Chain A
Amino acid sequence: MAQGHAPVLEVQDLRTYFYTRTGVVKAVDGVSFSLKEGETLGVVGESGSGKSMTALSIMGLVPQPAGKIVGGKVLLEGEDLLQKTPAEMQHIRGQKLCMILQDPMTSLNPVYTVGNQLIETLRLKPGNRGRGIKERAIELLSKVKIAAPEARIGNYPHQMSGGMRQRVVGAIAIAGAPKVLIADEATTSLDATIQYQYLQLLRELQEDTGLSIIFITHDFGIVAKMCDRVAVMYAGRLVELAPVRELFNKPAHPYTEALMRSVPNVDEEVDHLYAIEGQPPALDKLPTGCSFAPRCPYAFERCVQEYPSSVTVGESHYAHCWKLL
C-alpha cells in the first residue's frame, strides 16, 4: 500500500514536557518519524509511553497550562505546525489533520443529533453552506457504512450502538477531507467483529482518498493487519521504527522483542505467559542512559551511561540500542 511519495507529515525531534510540582515529566522526548501519502504508520507501546501525547502534540492540543512543546518540528506538507498561531491551527485541525478518539460513547455530544454534529463540522469549510449540506452529511454517513443514513441522521448518540457511534466519529473526522488521520486506540473499546469491520472501513477510506493514517494501538494483531510501518515507543522515546514485516520477523530492539514475546500464541501451550520484568520508569525520573536498560536482559555498562543513538538495522529499519552496533 505504501507509495513512494514525499512525506505528508514529518515529525522531527519532537519534545513535549509537562512542568509539574514534582518536576519535569518528559512525556515525548525526541520523537522523529515521517509519514508518506496513503501510508499507515502504527505506533505501539505500553500505557504512558507517550503515544497519545505525540498525537496531541501533532494536533496542537497539548493539555494546558502544564504541558508544553519545548522542541522539534512538525512539518505538514512542508509547513511547521509548531510555528502556527492558535487561529491557524484551528483551521488546520479538521481540514488537514484529524483524529479519532478511543471511546465512541463519549466522543459525541449527548444533546445533539449525529446529523447536527456532522453538519456543524461540514460548515467549517468555507463555501460549505445552504441546502446541499444535509445531502453531504447523508453521503458521509453512507460512506462510513451506516445503514439507512437518511433516518440515522436524526438519531441522538444514545440511540446508536458503540460501533455505529465510532462510525459517526469517523464520518466527522473525514468531513473536512484531511490529509492525515490519527486513530488513537480507535478500535480498543469495540468488540472483535465490530473492530474488524471498522478496520476494514478505514482501509477502504484510505484507498478512496489517499489518506495517511497514524494508528496508535497496543494490539499487534491490528498492527499486522493495518500498518505499513511500525514505530515502537518506550518511556516517551521512539525506540524502533521498521516496516511491519521486518519488525515481526526480526525485532532489533530488546524492548520490541520482549513486547512480541508477551503476546500469547494460540498454537503454543505454555505454563506461564511471558511478562517483561520490572516497571517502566517514571517519566520525571528517567535514568541517564537507555530508559529500558534496568529491565533489559542484554544491558551492559554503556547502556546505563548514555542514551543510544539511532542504528540502521536494515532497509528503513532503525533502532536505538547499543547492542546493535
Chain B
Amino acid sequence: MATATNVAAPVARPGIIKQLPAKLRRLKLPWTAVVIVTVMVVCAAFAHWLAPHDPVGINMLESRIPPAFTSAEEASWSHPLGTDVMGRDMLSRLIYGARTSVFISLVALGTGAVVGTTLGLISGYRGGWVDSLIMRTADAALGFPTILVAMIIVVLMGAGISNIVLAVAITVWARFARMIRGDVLSIKQLDFVTFAKIAGLGSPMIIIRHIFPNIISTLMVITSLQVGQVILLEASLSFLGLGLPPGEPAWGIMVAEGRTVIVDVWWLSLFPGLSITVVVLAFNFFGDWLRDTLDPKLRRL
C-alpha cells in the first residue's frame, strides 16, 4: 500500500494557470451576477470613454427620440436608447448614472463599514455599559427611517452628494456594528484570545491582531449584501430629489424625470428602473454566494 501511494505522488503538478479554470469551476461563481457587476463597475470607471454623448448636453432639436430598436422613424443608432425630454442621450446618462451610484455607494458603505466595524469590535469586546450604549444607539439608528434622516439632513445642510452619503452611512453603520458585535462575542470566548491575555497582550492589540482577522469573512459578506441595499437607497433618495440637483445623471433622478410623461416617453423611466433592479439583484445574488462560500460550516462539508 505504502509503495503504491509513493509511486503515485510524484506526478508533475499542473501550473497555476492551467489549474485556474478548474479552480474557478469549483467555486461555482454566480456568473450572471458577476458579469452584471463587472459591466456596472467598468461603466462607472470608464464612463467618459464609453459614453457616446455628453450626459448633460441639452439638444432640444433631438428631444424625445425613441430607442433604436423601436419602429419609430426618428429612432437611430446614434442614440441607441433614445433621448430624454431635453434631448440628452439616454445611454450616456445611464453610463454616467452607474458612476454616480458606484461612487455614492462606495463612499457611504465605506464610511458605514469603518465606523460600524470599529464600534462593533469595541462593543463586543468591552461589554458592559459601553456595549449597551453602542447597541442602543445602533437600535435607534435602525429604528429611524432613512428617508426621514435624509430629509432632516437636507433641510439642515442643503442637498448634495455628501448629504446622501451621510444619510446612508448613518443607517448602514448600525447593521455592521450589530453583526460584528455578535461575531466578536463568540470569538472572544475562544482559547487563543484567553491565551493572548495570559501572554500579557493589551486589549487594543488583542482586538486588532486576534479578533479583527477572524471577522473579515463576516465583514465581506455583510458588505456585499449591503451594496444592493445602498444602491437602492441612493436611488430612492435621488428619486425624491434629496440628493443631486435635477438634471444630473443619477438613476433615481432619471426615473423621477420620466414619471410625468411615462405614457408617451416610456423609455425615460424604464431603462434606469431596469438598471436599478438588475444591479441590486446581481449584488444580492453575489452576496448570497459569498455568504455560502465563506460560511465555515458549509465549507467543511
Using A106-B192, A120-B209 as known contacts, say yes or no to A91 and B128 having CB atoms under 8 A apart.
Answer: no
Shortest distance from the beta carbon of B242 to any chain A beta carbon, whole Å = 42
**Is A173 engaged at the interface, CB distance under 8 Å to the other chain?**
yes
- The stretch that binds A, out of B61-69, B94-102, B174-182, B199-207, is B199-207
Shortest distance from the beta carbon of A312 to any chain B beta carbon, whole Å = 35
| Interface contact A101-B128, CB-CB below 8 Å | no
Q: Name the residue among A95, A98, A109, A176 with the largest chain B CB count within 10 angstroms.
A: A109
Q: How far is the CA of A80 from the CA of B65 in the complex (A)?
A: 86
- Chain A: number of interface residues, binned into ranges: 20 to 34
Q: Determine the chain A residues whose CB is within 8 A of the CB of B210 once the complex forms.
A: 109
Q: Determine the chain A residues whose CB is within 8 A of the CB of B197 once the complex forms.
A: 61, 93
Q: How far is the CA of A193 from the CA of B87 in the complex (A)?
A: 84
Shortest distance from the beta carbon of B190 to any chain A beta carbon, whole Å = 6
Using A64-B127, A120-B209 as known contacts, say yes or no to A109 and B200 having CB atoms under 8 A apart.
Answer: no
**Is A111 engaged at the interface, CB distance under 8 Å to the other chain?**
yes
**Is A159 engaged at the interface, CB distance under 8 Å to the other chain?**
no
**Is B191 engaged at the interface, CB distance under 8 Å to the other chain?**
yes
| Interface contact B199-A121, CB-CB below 8 Å | yes
Q: How far is the CA of A278 from the CA of B191 in the complex (A)?
A: 32
| Interface contact A91-B200, CB-CB below 8 Å | yes
**Is B198 engaged at the interface, CB distance under 8 Å to the other chain?**
yes
Q: Determine the chain A residues whose CB is within 8 A of the CB of B195 once the complex forms.
A: 99, 101, 107-108, 169, 172
| Interface contact A101-B199, CB-CB below 8 Å | no
Q: Determine the chain A residues whose CB is within 8 A of the CB of B78 once the complex forms.
A: none
Q: Determine the chain A residues whose CB is within 8 A of the CB of B199 once the complex forms.
A: 93-94, 98, 120-121, 124, 172-173, 175-176
Q: Determine the chain A residues whose CB is within 8 A of the CB of B191 once the complex forms.
A: 101, 103, 106-107
**Is B213 engaged at the interface, CB distance under 8 Å to the other chain?**
yes
Q: List residues of B (156-194) whose CB comes within 8 Å of A's CBs.
A: 190-192, 194
Q: How far is the CA of A7 from the CA of B202 in the complex (A)?
A: 29
**Is B214 engaged at the interface, CB distance under 8 Å to the other chain?**
yes
Q: List residues of A (84-126) whose CB comes within 8 Å of B's CBs.
A: 90-95, 98-99, 101, 103, 106-112, 120-121, 124
Taking CB as reference atom, which chain A residue is nearest B190?
Answer: A106
Using A65-B127, A65-B128, A111-B214 as known contacts, say yes or no to A176 and B200 having CB atoms under 8 A apart.
Answer: yes
Q: How far is the CA of A192 from the CA of B201 in the complex (A)?
A: 32
**Is A247 engaged at the interface, CB distance under 8 Å to the other chain?**
no
| Interface contact A93-B213, CB-CB below 8 Å | no
Q: Determine the chain A residues whose CB is within 8 A of the CB of B214 once the complex forms.
A: 109-111
Using A111-B213, A120-B209 as known contacts, say yes or no to A61 and B194 having CB atoms under 8 A apart.
Answer: yes
**Is A180 engaged at the interface, CB distance under 8 Å to the other chain?**
no
Q: How far is the CA of A250 from the CA of B23 in the complex (A)?
A: 67
Taking CB as reference atom, which chain B residue is nearest A111?
Answer: B213
**Is A319 engaged at the interface, CB distance under 8 Å to the other chain?**
no
| Interface contact A101-B194, CB-CB below 8 Å | yes
Q: Determine the chain B residues whose CB is within 8 A of the CB of A44 once the complex forms.
A: none
**Is A59 engaged at the interface, CB distance under 8 Å to the other chain?**
yes
Using A65-B127, A109-B210 as known contacts, say yes or no to A124 and B201 having CB atoms under 8 A apart.
Answer: yes
Q: How far is the CA of A95 from the CA of B198 in the complex (A)?
A: 10
Q: How far is the CA of A93 from the CA of B196 in the complex (A)?
A: 10
A-B contact pairs, 21 of them (CB 8 A): A59-B198, A61-B194, A61-B197, A90-B201, A94-B200, A94-B201, A101-B195, A106-B190, A107-B191, A107-B192, A108-B192, A108-B195, A109-B192, A109-B210, A111-B214, A121-B201, A124-B200, A172-B199, A175-B199, A176-B199, A176-B200
Closest 5 CB pairs of A and B: A94-B200, A106-B191, A93-B200, A111-B213, A94-B199
Excluding A112-B209, A124-B201, 11 further A-B contacts by CB distance (< 8 Å) are A61-B197, A91-B200, A92-B200, A93-B197, A95-B200, A99-B198, A108-B195, A109-B214, A124-B199, A173-B198, A176-B200
Interface residues of A (CB under 8 A from B): 59, 61, 64-65, 90-95, 98-99, 101, 103, 106-112, 120-121, 124, 169, 172-173, 175-176
